Structures are given as structure tokens and as C-alpha cells.
Structure 1
Amino acid sequence: MKYILLLFFVFVSLFGYSQKKVLQTKFTSDNITIDGKLNESIWQATPEATDFIMFQPDNGKPIPENRKTIVKVLYDNDAIYIGALLYDDEPDKIRKEITQRDSFGASDVFGVFINGFNDGQQDFQFFVNAADGQGDCITTDTNGEDYSWDAIWKSKAIITDFGWVVEMRIPYAALRFSGEKKQTWGLNFFRDIKRDRHKYTWNFIDSKIETFTQQTGVLQGIENIKPPTRLFLLPYSSFYLNANKYQKTLGTLKGGLDIKYGINDAFTLDAILIPDFGQTKFDNQILNLGPFEQQFNENRPFFTEGTDLFSKGDLVYSRRIGGRPSRGPKTADNEIIIENPSNVELINALKVSGRTKDGLGIGILNAVTKKTNATVENSVTKETRTEEVEPLTNYNVLVLDQRFRKNSAISFINTNVTRNGDFRDANVSAIVWDLNTKKNTYNLSGDIKYSYVNDVTDKKGLYSTLNLGETSGKYRYNVGADLVTKDFDNNDLGINFRTNYYSTYGGASYRILNPTTLFTSFRVSSNMFSQFHKETGKLQGNSFSVFVNMENKKNHSYGFDLNASPFESYDYYEARTENRFLITPRSLGGYFYISTNYNNKFALDINSSVTKLSEFARNSFEIGIGPRYRFNDKFSMNINFNYFRQNNDKGFIDKIDTDTNPSTPPSIIFANRNTVTYSNTLYGKYSLNSRMNFNMEVRQYWSYAENKNFLYLKDDGRLADYQNYTANKNSSFSSWNLDLSYSWWFAPGSEISILYRNSAANFDEIINKDFNKNVTNLLNNDALNHTFSISVKYFIDYNSIKSKF
């Protein structure tokens, strides 16, 4: 008998799960109360979605009877309703940590994935956890999950004696679908049983195939509904108090308005008027000793939400908008700069994005920044003058993304920066392709980018990539190549560090798709990379690495990496001088990590790396330790300690003229130095309920570079002793950031947030190696800034107002 059951299971796995499941929904005219009880009579006569199948870790295994899951769907003229019965034979063990929106922690989760066009391109995903918290995101196969997107919908989760129940009301304004009389939607349901770390879906998601959105089931039965007017207003008001030793307490009141408008059933207009980003997360600044600028994460909501189209081609670095001025003020003799703004003020911004039923995605982003001046003072006469460092500037992005066969796309992207007056303008265009075979087994991707900069002299450049890979099964591989010309420059609205090279790379990997006796997951991969200077053919970079990661039956994760650069390479960037290079040595290194099961009250992350270079006593090592503890379902904390050290590192510090003869090049001075970095962070959260949260984040950072002796760069790329350099070029940078915040979602889409922040930063050429004194001095720094702010935003739905009147 057991063999018959086994054969039946194999048959279902091979044939049954490959078919799309179909669920019929029913229209209701009843008033459905979202209370998690499903006690309206219409629920009893509604078809059921059952027979969930494991997605991870044992892909394809049916859900056990004691965890069976039943989901039903209803609809009316305004919304779709989801009712889910989530059985659990041990309801007292259901995980239900309370967290803020879009963060589920150690909690069971139920989700529904909806694609109103049933085109396999984009899912609108809505989640409810067992602590009654909400989360939502937009998901595409290309860009994954975008949790910065927030919709307005209702839900309720309650624990019962047989498990738990979820009831949801998702208004049509939160979805996208056509105006056809009969609707066919893509649909899937998701369940995460956290204590087992088992994830299930209603329609089978085959992990051998590198796609998620194309493996949904189908929802039928919705008829005669109309896409609503999607007009949302989000007025806000904020009050700020700022103070430090040099500035009296100043109060600032701000107000503004965000608008979302559905142009039609596919396209949405987002606009911000009088932006306010005062409560945006702080940047993690570092001591940057390298030749390239530090790249920061984008934390401003407008520039993070719904930006999957604008990420095509990797041409947009939105921190350019409202970032540093493009010029610095020029000073004459006896003049000093007394005010030079670090950021340009954003006047307004808008974006239009969406996708037609034929698969054409269109994205338009436009932003305008304010004219910005610096102030210069004559140190003798004390007269001041202003100098324009950034004019009125317009930033624009256009994206056309045509998808076909549900899994492939060709895109055109154009970015343009137009500055008023004699400041530089820039334009970049690109064609990007992402092509997959019908069964999603092979992928061919790449791009061709063309840049044009109108400055003192015109500059034109090209950037192109091509990648081919197998994307399904246990064994996968990829090979690719890049070509970048010397004059490629997309840095007015994008970010790019290296140019004038060509490179080749390849990789292969093996993974298990179902658990073994030892592991729930296991993967080993290897990668090779080489880069060459385009004009000379010299090797700019090379690496070979093997990485292994695994998770055992107790859900503890482990991994290690072995990497090597087996050949010397030519670094054309560290010298900060055109056509000069530094020869970098061979290296051998390794990395490992341990991450224990986050379901446990106490969990621990440990990671460490070490690298040995082929120069005497030149090496580096790093260790990070991150304990975390969940006191109860409301309160948790985690700390991360990180220490990094480089011994006998070689880095650029100066360039000096050695001869008055213009034909004699300057000397490029390097330092043989030791660098040490301490970085410590503390996170804490206390949740009164799923809509009211206290959060704390503290970051202490200190990094210094102590020069041991000085060197100069020879023409052959080697370094030699330089005895005549006497300047102090040591570097010590320390920073402190503390955020204490309270947020209350007092109504759907409406929030009150209170933030106290203090911060300080200090750069010095004198190094004090006493860690305690360094931190104490920073906190006693006269420039320690204190900010207290209150922000209130209120969500207004045009449809709600219309229904009342």
C-alpha cells in the first residue's frame, strides 16, 4: 500500500502541481465585518482553496492534515474579501511577535498575492501576521519585493482553539486590473509556520524554476466591477526643534502635501509638494580613504516606493537629487568660505508609472531642485559675497519596458539633467534586455548605455554588458563580459566608479532542492573574474572564490568562503592621476559566518574574515558579533559589534610638485599605514500593539589610519621610500547617531511620529587611541546636535469622501 501512495505522490508532484489551480469567487451584497470571525453566512457557501504545498524547505511536499489551510474569496462593488482558516494542532505554540508594519519578526504569517492582469509580471502582495500586524509589497521577478510600497486595506487576525483566522478587505483602489466585464486574476496564497520555518503556497511554486510571479493560480468569477477613481491625498505637518552649543533652540514648522492619482487602470501619478524628509533615517558615514565617493542608501519614501521601473539599467542613483552642489565656490586671495551648503533643496518631484495590459511599462520621474549659493568672506575687509554653486536644476528619467511571453523584457531608459546657466548638462540613454526561454531554464541579459556630457568640452562614452546563464535545476552557471570606454559618465543622475576597462566573468553553483538527512538547504558556488585596462590591456583586477552556505535541521545557518587574487594587478584609480597606476599584490583570504535560529529567544550572529597579501606583514582581518534577545512578543534588542584592522596598507595621501618645469610630473605620495575601525550598533523595539511602536537605533563609529612611513609612486607602479615628506596626514573619523522614535498608525494610512535624534561627527589628524575617551569626547563635542520633531500625516481617500456625500 505504501508503494501505491508513493507512486501517487510522485504522479501528483510531476503532473498535478504543474497545473494552475483555479478558485471561484462569489459576489456578496452582505456587509462583511472585518473581525476575524468569518461568521457571515455567505462565507459558508463560498468555494475553498485548499491542499497547500510546501515551498520551503521540502519543495513539493503536501501540507500535513494538522496544519491544513482553507481560504475563501468574496467580492462586492468596492473590494475583495479574503477569509483564511489556518489550522494548527498546537495553537499555544503559534509565534506572534508584535512588530511594526512590514516587519514580521518571529511570527506566523498569511499572505495573498494578486495580479489583476494575470500576466505573470507583477504581484501585489498583502500579509497579516498572527499578532495582527500588516505588511504589503509589490513583487517582480527582476527586482524582488518592494516593501516601501504601502496600500490602505483592512485586516484582522485572531488566535482560536484550532489555530488562527485571518480576515482581509482589500479595496480595488489598492489593486490594478482592467475594465473588462469578466475578470481573470492571477492568485496565490502563502503561509509561513514560523516555529518550523516551513513555507507553503496554494499553487505550487517550483523552486527549480527561477520565477515566482509566473507560478500563480487563477481567480475566476469576478464580473461587472469597475476600477475606482484612485485619488489619494496625504497632507502633513511637522514641527522641529534644533539645538547645539552654537545655536539656540530654534523651532521650525513645515507643511506639505503628497498626491497619488490613478490616471487610468494601469498608470499612477505620484507627486510631492514642499517635501519634508526631516525624519528620514540617518546615513552611516565612514572614514573613506579610497578614490571613490561613499554611496549611501536611499531612505526618502518618495524615491524608494514603486521604483522597479526606474531601476532598469542601474542608471539612477536618486541621492543625486537634492545631493551635494555640482560645484564648489572659487576663492581669491584673502577670501574664506563661511557658508557652503552640503545639500541642495528639493522643490518638488513627481513620477508616473504603470504597465498596460499588453505588457508595456512606462515610467516618468521628474524633480526640480533649488538654486543654491555659497557665502565667501574677505578676511581683510570682512565684506561678503555669494557665489552660485548649483543653479535651478531639472532631473528627468524616462523608462519604456516592454515585456513579452510573461518572462522577458526589452527596455529603453533615458536620464537627463539640465542645469540653468553655464553649468554642465548630461544625458544618458540605454537599451536593456532580459530574455528567458519559455520554461525559464536559460537567461540572456545585457545592456548598451551611451552617455553624453555637455561641459567645457563635450564627452561621450559607452558601457555594455552581456550575460548568459542557466537559471533552473540543481546545477546552474553563468558567463559574461563588460566593456566600458574612458569617457562614459552617468554620475549626474547615476553613480559609476570605474571606466576604461573590459572584463570577463563566470560562475557555477550546485544546490539541493529538498532537505537531506543533515541539511534543510545547501549551496556551493564558485566565481571567477578578470578585468583589463582597455587601452593597455594590463590586468586591473582578478579573483577566484568558492562559497558554501547551509542550514541544518535546527535552522542554524553556516557558511564560509575561500577567495584569491592569484596575479598582481594594475590599479588605475588609487593614484588619482590620469594614466598612472599602482601595482597591487596577490592575495589569499577567507570568510565564515554562523547565524543561529532567530526563532529562539536568544540568537547569535558571528562572522569573521582574514586576508593575506603577498607583501611582508601586509594583511587584514575582521570580526563581527551580533547577539539578539527577544524578551517577549513586545520587546526585543540586538547589538552588533564589529572590529576591522588592516596592517601595512598602502594608500594615496598627497600629490606634490617636485619641479617648476611643467613637463616634470608631480610626485604621488602614498603612506604605509595601519587602519583600525570600530563599528557598534544597538537596535531596540517595544510594540504596544501592531500599530503603536517605540524604536531605538544607536550607531557608534570610529576609524583611524595611522601612517608609519611615506612612499612615492614610481613610473613602473611600484612604491619606494620617500624621506622628505613631513606633513601629518593621519586620519581619524568618529561619528555618533542616536534615534528614539514613536509611531502610531491612528487611522488607515495616517500616522503620528515623534523623533528625538542626537548626532555628532568629528575628523582629526591627531589620533587618540583610547576608545573610551574617543567616544566620551565625541559625546561632549560642542557640535553635538539635538533634534526633536513631531510629524502628523493624514490619509484622505477621494472615494471615502464621495461615499459620504
Structure 2
Amino acid sequence: MKFKYIILFFCALTSAKSMGQESTGNKIPKRIYTTKKLKNTPVIDGDISDVAWDVVEWSTDFTEKSPDEGTEPTHQTKFKVMYDAKFLYIAIRALDEEPDLIQQRLSRRDGFAGDRVNVIIDSYHDKRTAFVFTTTAAGVKGEEIATGNGDNWDASWNPIWYTNAKVDAKGWTAEMKIPFSQLRFGNAKEQIWGFNVVRNIFRKNERSLWQRIPNDQSGFISEAGELHGLINLVSQKQLEIQPFTVLQYDNYPKEVGNPYRDGSDFKLNAGLDAKIGITNDLTLDLTINPDFGQVEADPGAIALDGFQIFFREQRPFFVENKNIFDFEFANGRDNLFYSRRIGRNPHRSASLQTGEFANEPINSTILGAAKFSGKTQSGWSIGVLESVTANEYAEIHEVEGKTREEIVEPLTNFFIARAQKDFNKRNSFIGGIFTATNRNLDGNFNELHKAAYSGGLDFQHNWHNRDYFLDGNIIMSHVLGSKEAITATQETLRHNFGRVDASHVNIDPTRTSLTGTGGRIEAGKNGGGNWRYNGGFIWRSPELELNDVGFLRQTDEMIQFSNIRYLWQIPTKTYRDIQVRFNQFTTYDFEGNQNKSQIELQGNVNWINNWWTELETGYIPVVYGNAYLRGGPRWRFADEKYIALFFGSDRSKKMSFTLGYVNSTTDESVNNFKRYVFRMNYQPFDAFSMSINTEFEKARNKTQYVAESDFNTTKRYVLGEMDNQTLSTTLRLNYSLNPNFSIQFYGQPFISRGRYSNFNYVNEPTAKSINDRVSMYSSNQISLENDIYSIDENLNSITDYTFEKPDFSFVQLRTNLVARWEYIPGSELFFVWARGGSTNDNPRHSLSRSLKNQITNDKIEDTFLIKATYRFVR
């Protein structure tokens, strides 16, 4: 009944005040700013009274973007632009009648906190890509690359440029000095660039733009104004060389008898990164023996369904310009290029005899990597990446005191080539990608693919002022290897060729290759008026395989989807904006089985006081899993209903919070799930901020997969009732002495505990009722001794099969304390203390006791690291 009232509530929202939500409907004329060459060079100290700025005029008349689009902002903004042979200079005057209320919040680079201005430069003038330079009222710099016409903002880009800011009686001012070597542009006599300036008044959560962009307009970069007057610019080809040195000391518990775990290690490492401008719009990046020691640890996670977990890339070399190489071909994380495959942990562990110890590498060594990337004036976006990882060996200490080496990872070459071409006045593009992974197996590693190739084509077309779109892609993969390797691939959970009741797939042990396809086609409306909608189709064939250098979670799937949204974009006395969304999708396998059908209703409200509310409810009447029984028959899950409610306070205040609640229930209470979320951000003074994110999940599943056993001439798929509780807390503390020196603490305790009871086995896997799907073991059929369950199913006093007690308690602690000093632009010193470890605790313990045990146990490891870089720039 509660779902009925929720739907009626949203229907009422959709009809309320719709007459007042009219589209602007008019194309906004492009504004033009004409710059001039400077006569004197200004000092970049934030003070714009320097006479050097007098050669150009101010431009103003900003228009509010949010909350009340199209109106006069609370305070106006002015700017000037001038240039010389090597630099672009920008002065900004942010007027404010209450300068004492200006938020001068210090943070690390790219913190984007407090009052700020963003200068958006589309120097390619492709109307889809832009360089974004940000200065806050505290003088903190930030920079991003915006792609996809403003859909994606990548803050990993760290160019060398100069800025400063000051607060005065009229508001605050900022100056920027941007080297042309950090931008990409053509060789026309007069450059015409896309250009916009965005101001954010933090305390009011108000954004205003120099070039007005209505909220119903699809696209952001394409709608920017223009910067004229850049005459006879000479290409400043970039040349940067950045060597680094790392000192690392590890301290850990000594392991008796193990010569490789004597309590401490000391390492000295060095490497080199370089950036070379091949042309004025294409760059070659090189790295030799890269170090990623200061990278933040991955968050804690555990996969109960057996599928791979996606972790985001954090290593600087691979993060920068990653948008050029991305080829996300379906929904979610599926991508032909997943850079974390490069330098991954070795595929093998050392084979040890009794009394032997091994020193095993944690990651594959990246001998070197190079990427050639950029975008040309003619609309070509190009990316080529080449990387080689080394043969990796484990050193084994034998009982007699001798040592031997055993290879655990082969020499591997990774190659990725990506290209896109804009046309139709930048309203359309077509592109492609090719990836290749080649391993030097040298008669070893029969379990690995010798080679893996993938390729794809993608396209997009926008029309009617970019309101409507059609886009899609098609991909193909081909992997080669020994019979053992290809058989192992067929048996993986993502392919599941051995499923006993499948007629369209089967394991062929004689095969030495697999070839598969996938893709997506989608069309819809992205702008204009208050309605948005889209729909499409996705497929992944059973033989598709991308995981040598891509990410693919599951195959054998076809998905039909559709979405529709209605937007309220004009503020009232109650709210700033509202949107309501209805989603629907259905999935099938390649045998024609319908595996899932889902409908969902979502509502988002930003209230007039900057608080916000999100409500979501859904119903899943059809749910089957082809892989749930790990090669067993297709399994039917119980019908599911769920609701999620999140709300939060004004994020511009010194303290803000988010509370969230998710509740999912199924028929016959087979699988119930609850999730509680608390997030808080607090900045008591400008130099210090903290955030905490705590999540607690509680799930009870009466049919959690446990094991597979043989019983007479049949298979038994053993399930159990699992009580799973997961608790994680992420704490971040940031203290900034100034924009170039900061101290950051990151800490995350994580625990996931599962206790099993009421074991049962699969009877009729696709029956509607749980009472028909499974049969319970009686107390006479099951017994436990030494953490082994024994089953006497036919009660003849003879054990028919056994399985291990599946209870678990995984506990992990990760902390990082990092001091970062950018002592000159582009050159940094890092001081890092990392502390943490993971263990399996007693599942009978409470969550709090398990966390306490992990924090205080003697297996915690410490790493102390000093990293120094120096960037040589020509």
C-alpha cells in the first residue's frame, strides 16, 4: 500500500505548477570578448590595480545560472583578458557588498571550496572540450578538463600556471597567468576560442555566467561565448621533464623463520616522467619506472556474488587524459580499457614446499609507458598508449638455506589506440578503438591468454540545437591461448559456459580462441523544454572477453531500457528545482530467457534553503540468475520491492550532513536488505576541514550460495541462510597552511561479517515459492565437527558429502597521513605515513570487537615514505 501512495505523491508533483514551467525557447546570442596584447607585464599577486591591465576593457553583465536562471545575480562580476607571446592573462573583479561573508576556504589543489571563479577555455573550439582554470577567494588553484560537452569534468589534469587572489572592501579580485604551452590550439592567424567565466557565491549557492546558458539548453561547452583578438600566436610546444626519488621504510611484525619478514625493509627508488609537445595540440607523455607510493588505498569491499569488483584508477600517469582513452560501451563500468590491468598483482603465487618461504611481488613492475594524445584543430581526438610490464619472479628460500626463483607473471605488452573525429559543425562524431595484449609465455603459463585483441566503433549525432541525440557503439573481442587457457575462460563466472541447463553455450575443451561482440544503441531528448527521455538496447554476447586490458563483469546478456524525466527549473518560494524520473529495463540471455524486469520511480528536490531530498522506489517482478549457482541451473530469486530516502542540509554551510536509508524486501522474506548512511562535512575555520562517511548494511538471505557437491549421480547445490552485516567508516581531515602546503589524513576501518544457519539444497531452482525451490536439511541430516559440515542426506549413517563452515569476518584498516608541499609550481615534496592491515576475525565476535581487534592487533604494518619531484619546464 505504501508504494501506491508514493506513486500518487509523485504524480501530484508532476502536475503541480506545470503551467509556470515554461522553456526559454530562444537561442541566446554569442557574446564576444576581444583581447589585446599587453604593453607591460602585470605582477600576479591578486591585486588588479596594476596599470598593466589598462590596455583592455572590462566585460560584465553576468547572468544567474542557478538557482534562478536568466535573472540578475546578487553581485556582478567583471573580467579582463590580455596576452603576450607566451601567456594569457586574466583579471577578475568579483563584486560583493558584504566582503566579510566571502568564504575564503583553504584546501588542497582542486579542493573547489569557498567563493570561486572558473575560466573555461575551449581553445580547440570543438564545442565539446575545454580547459578549466579555477581560483578561489583564498587563492587556491584548481584545473579540470571538461569533455562530452560538459558532461565529464576531470580534475586530474595538473598544468603549470600562476594565480593569486585578494579580498578588499569591494569584494575580491583574482589574477591568472596561463602559459600557452599548457593549452592546445591551431595555427590560424587569429585564434577564435570558446570562452566563458563562471562565478560561484558559496554562501548563497549561486552561480552566474558571462555567457548565459539556459537550463533547458542541452550542452555547456558548445554554448560558451567567444574570445577573439589572439593574433599570430606562436605554438609553445610543451617540454616538461619530472624526475622523482622515493625513500621508503616498511615496519611490520617479524615472522619467525622467514628471512623475508624480518620486521623492516628499506627501499630507494627513482624514475622519470616527461611531457613533450609534438605539435601545438598533441602531446607525448613518458614514464620510466613510475612510482605510485602516495596513492590512496582502495576502499574496503567484499564480493559475495563471485563477480569482480571495480576500483577507480588513482595513479597519476593513467588518470591524466584518461577521458581520451575511455570506451564505455554499455551501462555501468564495462570498458575496453581498464588501466588497472597494467601493473596488476601477479596471476600466480609461488609454489612452496613445507618449510619454504617466498618473497612475492605485490604488483607487476611497469618498465615503461608512453601515451600520445590530444585533439587537433580539425576535430581529431587521438590517443595511443604503449606499456610494458616485466617478468616477475618470486624468490624462494629453501629449507637448506639456498634460494631459487620462480616466475609468477610473464612479460606483457599493452597497446591501446583511440580516435574520434568531429564533423557536422561539431554536432556529430565517429570514433574507434583498438586494444592489444600480448604475453611472452615462453612455454609457461598455460592458464593465461597468449594474446587478446578488442576493437570498437562509436558514434554520436545531435540535432535541433543539440536537444535530440542518437549515439551508440559496436565492439568485438578475440582472445587466443592454449586449450587450458580458453577452457578456463569458458568456465569463469562471467561466461558460465558449463551451466547445466543451457542449450546455447557449452564448454569446448578443444578450443584455442574465443570471439565475441557487444554494443549499445541509444536515442533520446537531452534539452529543450521540461521533458527529457531516452531509450535503447545493449548486448554482450557469451564469448565476449575484455578482461586482459578492459573491464567486463558479465556476458550473455541483452538489455532493453527506457527513461523519462520531467524538470521544474524555475525556483518558487518553496524549491529551487525538482525532477521526477521513471526508469524501466528488461534483460534477456542469448537463449531467449527473460532474466530481469524492473521499474523505478525517482524524485529529487532542491529546496529554497539549499537543503535537498531524494526519494526512490522500485519493483522487480522478474529476477533470474544464470550464474548464481556457479555453473548450476538457472535460479529464480524472489520478487523484490525497494525504497530509498536520502536528504541533506545546505552544503555551503560550515557544517552539512546527509542521512540515507535503503530498505529492500522480497516475497516470503527470502532476501531482505537495509542500509543506513550518515555523511558529514565540517569546516570550523578556513584552514581545516573534515568529513566522515559511515555506512551500515544488514542483509539476511535465506538462499545464499555455499557450495557444490556430488550426491550419487546428481549435483547438490548447497545454500544457507546468511546474516551479513557490513560497517565502513571513511574519515578525512585536511589542514592547509596555505594553497601550496597541506596535510591530509585518510582512514577507513571496514568489516563485513557473515554467519550461516538453516542450510538447504536446491530442489526446483525456478519455482516461484522458496518452499519449492529448496529443501531444508533436518537436524539428523547435518552435523558440524572441526568447522566441517557433514551431510547424511539418505540417513544411512554414511556421510554423503561435506562442506566447510562458510562463516566469515573480514576486517580491514587503511590509514594515510600525507603532507604535500608544492615548493615551486609543478614540483612537490610528499611525506607519507601509511598504516593498516587486514585479517579474518572470529565471526562470533561483535562488529565493534572485531574492529577493535584489528586496530590493536600485532599485524598492523607501517610504511614511511618521502617522495621528491622536480619539474623542468622549457
What is the correspondence of 1:170-249 to structure 2 with a 5 Å cutoff? 170-246=178-254, 247-249=262-264
Residue 21 of structure 1: how far off its partner (Å): 0.5
In structure 2, relative to structure 1, the CA distance for the partners of 1:410 and 1:329 (3 Å cut) is farther
Q: For 2:313, which of 298, 320, 326 is the aligned residue?
A: 298
My pick for the range that moved more, 486-495 or 721-730, is 721-730
Q: For 2:641, which of 568, 588, 592 is the aligned residue?
A: 588
Match of 1:308, SS state, is helix
In structure 2, relative to structure 1, the CA distance for the partners of 1:12 and 1:153 (3 Å cut) is farther
Residue 339 of structure 1: how far off its partner (Å): 5.2
In structure 2, relative to structure 1, the CA distance for the partners of 1:748 and 1:681 (3 Å cut) is same
Taking structure 1 as the reference length, what is the TM-score of the superposition?
Answer: 0.93
Q: Does structure 1 conserve the Cα–Cα contact (< 8 Å) formed by 2:165 and 2:172?
A: yes
What is the correspondence of 1:696-715 to structure 2 with a 5 Å cutoff? 696-714=745-763
Residue 647 of structure 1: how far off its partner (Å): 1.5
1:402 aligns with: 421
2:587 aligns with: 531
Residue 11 of structure 1: how far off its partner (Å): 15
In structure 2, relative to structure 1, the CA distance for the partners of 1:737 and 1:625 (3 Å cut) is same
Q: Does structure 2 conserve the Cα–Cα contact (< 8 Å) formed by 1:291 and 1:573?
A: no
Question: Which letter maps to 1:393?
Answer: T
Please state if 1:448 is matched with 2:474.
Answer: yes
Q: For 1:357, which of 369, 377, 384 is the aligned residue?
A: 377
1:222-245 C-alpha deviation (Å, 9 max, x unpaired): 112201121011111111110111
Please state if 1:413 is matched with 2:433.
Answer: yes
Please state if 1:626 is matched with 2:626.
Answer: no
1:52 aligns with: 62
Q: For 1:40, which of 29, 50, 53 is the aligned residue?
A: 50
In structure 2, relative to structure 1, the CA distance for the partners of 1:721 and 1:383 (3 Å cut) is farther
In structure 2, relative to structure 1, the CA distance for the partners of 1:705 and 1:756 (3 Å cut) is same
* 2: CA distance, partners of 1:275 / 1:462: 34
What is the correspondence of 1:241-640 to structure 2 with a 5 Å cutoff? 241-246=249-254, 247-313=262-328, 314-327=335-348, 338=358, 340-374=360-394, 386-404=405-423, 405-421=425-441, 422=443, 423-424=448-449, 425-456=451-482, 457-472=512-527, 473-535=529-591, 537-567=592-622, 569-577=623-631, 580-616=633-669, 618-640=671-693
Q: For 1:28, which of 21, 38, 52 is the aligned residue?
A: 38
* 1: CA distance, partners of 2:93 / 2:71: 20
RMSD: 2.2
Match of 1:302, SS state, is helix
1:116-145 C-alpha deviation (Å, 9 max, x unpaired): 232212111101000110000110126511
Structure 1 residue runs of 5 or longer lacking an equivalent are 1-9, 799-805
Match of 1:191, SS state, is strand
1:140 aligns with: 147
Match of 1:309, SS state, is helix
* 1: CA distance, partners of 2:817 / 2:350: 37
Q: Does structure 1 conserve the Cα–Cα contact (< 8 Å) formed by 2:518 and 2:539?
A: yes
* 1: CA distance, partners of 2:22 / 2:639: 54
Identity within the alignment, %: 27
Question: Which letter maps to 1:703?
Answer: S
1:4 aligns with: none
* 1: CA distance, partners of 2:168 / 2:23: 32
* 2: CA distance, partners of 1:213 / 1:625: 35
Question: Which letter maps to 1:273?
Answer: I
Taking structure 2 as the reference length, what is the TM-score of the superposition?
Answer: 0.85
Q: Does structure 1 conserve the Cα–Cα contact (< 8 Å) formed by 2:670 and 2:702?
A: no
2:93 aligns with: 85
Q: Does structure 1 conserve the Cα–Cα contact (< 8 Å) formed by 2:638 and 2:670?
A: no
Q: Does structure 2 conserve the Cα–Cα contact (< 8 Å) formed by 1:38 and 1:83?
A: yes
* 1: CA distance, partners of 2:391 / 2:711: 40
Q: For 1:118, which of 110, 121, 125 is the aligned residue?
A: 125
2:822 aligns with: 745
* 1: CA distance, partners of 2:384 / 2:435: 10
My pick for the range that moved more, 315-324 or 777-786, is 777-786
Q: Does structure 2 conserve the Cα–Cα contact (< 8 Å) formed by 1:649 and 1:675?
A: no
Q: Does structure 2 conserve the Cα–Cα contact (< 8 Å) formed by 1:734 and 1:762?
A: yes
* 2: CA distance, partners of 1:683 / 1:46: 44
* 2: CA distance, partners of 1:45 / 1:209: 35
Question: Which letter maps to 1:795?
Answer: R
Residue 269 of structure 1: how far off its partner (Å): 0.6
My pick for the range that moved more, 74-83 or 702-711, is 702-711
What is the correspondence of 1:661-680 to structure 2 with a 5 Å cutoff? 664=713, 666-680=715-729
Residue 581 of structure 1: how far off its partner (Å): 2.1
Question: Which letter maps to 2:519?
Answer: S
Structure 2 residue runs of 5 or longer lacking an equivalent are 1-20, 255-261, 329-334, 483-511, 767-772, 783-790, 792-801
1:788 aligns with: 864
Residue 627 of structure 1: how far off its partner (Å): 2.8
Match of 1:290, SS state, is coil
Residue 335 of structure 1: how far off its partner (Å): 10
Match of 2:727, SS state, is strand
Q: For 2:175, which of 132, 149, 167 is the aligned residue?
A: 167
* 1: CA distance, partners of 2:397 / 2:62: 72
Residue 258 of structure 1: how far off its partner (Å): 0.5
1:442-486 C-alpha deviation (Å, 9 max, x unpaired): 111111110000022210101121111111131111111112211
* 2: CA distance, partners of 1:778 / 1:337: 25
Residue 665 of structure 1: how far off its partner (Å): 5.1
Q: Does structure 2 conserve the Cα–Cα contact (< 8 Å) formed by 1:242 and 1:249?
A: yes
Residue 337 of structure 1: how far off its partner (Å): 8.1
My pick for the range that moved more, 151-160 or 719-728, is 719-728
My pick for the range that moved more, 429-438 or 392-401, is 429-438
1:6 aligns with: none
Residue 726 of structure 1: how far off its partner (Å): 5.4
Please state if 1:754 is matched with 2:764.
Answer: no
My pick for the range that moved more, 772-781 or 620-629, is 772-781
Match of 2:854, SS state, is helix
Residue 208 of structure 1: how far off its partner (Å): 1.1
Residue 383 of structure 1: how far off its partner (Å): 8.1
* 2: CA distance, partners of 1:33 / 1:11: 47
Residue 328 of structure 1: how far off its partner (Å): 5.5
* 1: CA distance, partners of 2:116 / 2:677: 30
My pick for the range that moved more, 338-347 or 309-318, is 338-347
1:7 aligns with: none
* 2: CA distance, partners of 1:484 / 1:216: 38
Residue 521 of structure 1: how far off its partner (Å): 1.6
Q: Does structure 1 conserve the Cα–Cα contact (< 8 Å) formed by 2:242 and 2:871?
A: yes
2:797 aligns with: none
Q: Does structure 1 conserve the Cα–Cα contact (< 8 Å) formed by 2:37 and 2:84?
A: yes
Match of 2:263, SS state, is strand
In structure 2, relative to structure 1, the CA distance for the partners of 1:94 and 1:349 (3 Å cut) is same
Q: Does structure 1 conserve the Cα–Cα contact (< 8 Å) formed by 2:23 and 2:216?
A: no
Q: Does structure 2 conserve the Cα–Cα contact (< 8 Å) formed by 1:478 and 1:506?
A: yes
Q: Does structure 1 conserve the Cα–Cα contact (< 8 Å) formed by 2:67 and 2:576?
A: yes
Matched residue count: 775
Residue 709 of structure 1: how far off its partner (Å): 2.4
* 1: CA distance, partners of 2:583 / 2:538: 16
* 2: CA distance, partners of 1:438 / 1:416: 39
1:725-746 C-alpha deviation (Å, 9 max, x unpaired): 4521111100001111111111
Residue 650 of structure 1: how far off its partner (Å): 2.6
* 1: CA distance, partners of 2:473 / 2:619: 29
Residue 386 of structure 1: how far off its partner (Å): 4.3
Residue 309 of structure 1: how far off its partner (Å): 1.3
Q: Does structure 2 conserve the Cα–Cα contact (< 8 Å) formed by 1:298 and 1:318?
A: yes
Q: Does structure 1 conserve the Cα–Cα contact (< 8 Å) formed by 2:42 and 2:53?
A: no
